[in-house]
Structure 1
């Protein structure tokens, strides 16, 4: 997706957000209703998004079985955290069933957006992080465990770091795996500079998507999140980026520094992998690397063919 296509997508999403919000206030953003039935397995973001348009509350397949109990092999439940403007289903309709098939208890909330809305994770990020903290506590109580692992995409890979740093999450998380996470913000292929130069540009964007402006490379939120270091003790971090990312730019802004960190790219395993930002949760190599990070004892090195 090159710059003109990216711009068209942003305009389309912005219009969709306005319709979804009904011109209401983001102050009404709240945690979604009880988990509905799971949708089908998907192989790409396009088919997943089409399904989600008509089934905005669908759970990803394999997720949100509150009777699930972790096994000795996979003792920590996995909580999936979606990206800005995505929802639990369209982001995780490939990763969730893969992890469930491996034997994990998988959970995927819709947070940071209007109840039942197509677009989630658009509200104030600290507020979404507090919703996430409450959801993790619910998972821990239901499964009888003391820790979860977290897999997140884009904002969903960065937002849990706020939970770890400020909301007591460090004692409740074993591993955080980020797929193209916005850890150090983004200049959005240069579009952030354009928006900031327009009178009222950031104000307009924030009215539709507060999380969008909070993820700008020089935002107060990003500066605060990374002040004093990127990581907290006791948590294992894995970042999987793609060199062809057109949303989190430069792609290296996904990477973390500190102890217990593994930074990698899809292209380290397949130089010709052209997967971009919104498709990374459907990339075969990315899914393998998630599975490796969650269970290093069963890790397998992917390549272009297998």
Structure 2
């Protein structure tokens, strides 16, 4: 998906014109070609672009559709890229790292924000760590919505993979390497979390819900670090019982994301009853 922006009811599209024969494009199969990304429309360049990363077996619309629309209504430039969420997470991290380079290269802003849902939130944090040694970090903020930052105990993407164990290569054969990578104790997470879990110049907001039945325990979505704000959906709003899937359309989750990215413009966070714990 390309860069898009919304003014009132009109959506201005930053094109998806592919560049034939672009040998340098590091796009894996099934992902949006990075050479197809265009610069943000001129009217959106006052704020950093936002990259949205969807969850397992989902899409940007399914994972972050209302958030994307709210950002468009704000006049923000939004990039939402398709990718194969079953491939090894390291492959997705390399792809989105290249996407950050591409987006900052074609835009006048030198920084950007990333919002990720579920697996996409884990990818977002991993991408932010890739730039730690750069003199200027291209990522300003990361917002994680129920990201399995420490891994999950048994269920990933709605599939119970407990019998296989974190170290098994079986999911590589089944085309679901990402599910294995998200298990607590997996080789990927062990390596990723062996050092600092955040980049020191990036601000992180970690949103989780205690009714999460996919990222379990839900506290896997939190990180203890000075530049991290951990937010439980039910804090101050116990009547919002939105589960992992329902968070995608939950008004409070959308508001918390917008507040994290721009608290001046979005000081209020709604509290509405939500009994859908899926």
TM tier, smaller: 0.7 to 0.9
Q: Which of the numbers 57, 61, 75 marks the counterpart of 1:85?
A: 57
Alignment of 1:253-292 (within 5 A): 253-292=220-259
Instruction: Pick closer, same or farther for the CA change 1:245–1:283 going to 2, 3 Å.
Output: same
Q: Which of the numbers 102, 116, 139 marks the counterpart of 1:173?
A: 139
1:242-288 CA distance string (max 9 Å, x none): 11101100000110111211101111132122211122121100000
Using the TM superposition, give the Cα deviation of residue 153 of structure 1 relative to its aligned residue in structure 2, in angstroms.
0.3
CA distance, structure 2, for counterparts of residue 145 and residue 209 of structure 1: 36
In 2, are the aligned partners of 1:81 and 1:153 still within 8 Å (CA)? yes
TM-score (structure 2 length as normaliser): 0.78
Alignment of 1:66-145 (within 5 A): 66-69=39-42, 75-111=47-83, 113=84, 121-145=85-109
CA distance, structure 2, for counterparts of residue 107 and residue 195 of structure 1: 35
Q: Which of the numbers 163, 182, 187 marks the counterpart of 1:194?
A: 163
In 1, are the aligned partners of 2:50 and 2:115 still within 8 Å (CA)? yes
1:73-132 CA distance string (max 9 Å, x none): x52111001111112232222111111101211110012x1xxxxxxx211111111111
- Segments of 5+ residues of structure 2 without an aligned counterpart are 1-27, 274-278
Alignment correspondent of 1:238: 205
Alignment correspondent of 1:223: 190
- Segments of 5+ residues of structure 1 without an aligned counterpart are 1-27, 37-63, 114-120
TM-score (structure 1 length as normaliser): 0.71
| Matching of residue 303 in structure 1 with residue 271 in structure 2 | yes
| Matching of residue 146 in structure 1 with residue 110 in structure 2 | yes
In 2, are the aligned partners of 1:29 and 1:123 still within 8 Å (CA)? no
Alignment correspondent of 2:276: none
In 1, are the aligned partners of 2:115 and 2:124 still within 8 Å (CA)? no
CA distance, structure 2, for counterparts of residue 167 and residue 261 of structure 1: 17
Query: Could you say what the CA RMSD is over the residues aligned between the two structures, in angstroms?
Result: 2.9
